[in-house]
Amino acid sequence: MIALIQRVSEASVTVDGQVTGAIGKGLLVLLGVEKGDDEAKAKRLRDKVLGYRVFEDDNGKMNLNVQQAGGSVLVVSQFTLAADTKSGMRPSFSTGATRQMPSACTSILWRVVKTTASKRKPVFLPQT
């Protein structure tokens, strides 16, 4: 499981001209699910995302996590993060969750969202 985390003042996802997910201040998480990912990895990722102190406190120091800063989290599935680019000029996606595994990929993504939401934190997953 690979995540690219970006601190944002606002973020949204638009599909076919319609906004499917949006947040104000918070974290945009691009999530790449790989073969073999499980609930334990999803929980570790959740804890890391919620724990990173990337927001400024009253003294201007990056001391606050997204929860303490009152921010939200927008999780977006991004299979290209699992690309293997070690050889050649064409990336391989063999380590990523495949189309034959859609329920596993969706399940892991939702576990991250569900377990985070159960901690009463605002988390959004764009509707597809």
Catalytic residues: 78-80
Which candidate, 46, 64, 47, places its Cα nearest to that of 55?
64
Q: What is the dihedral of CA 11, 15, 20, 22, to 10 degrees?
A: 10
CB neighbours of 16 closer than 8 A, spacing ≥ 6? none
- Helix axes of 39-51 and 102-117: crossing angle, nearest 10 degrees: 40
Query: How far apart are the C-alpha atoms of 74 and 46, rounded to whole Å?
Result: 12
CB neighbours of 48 closer than 8 A, spacing ≥ 6? 3
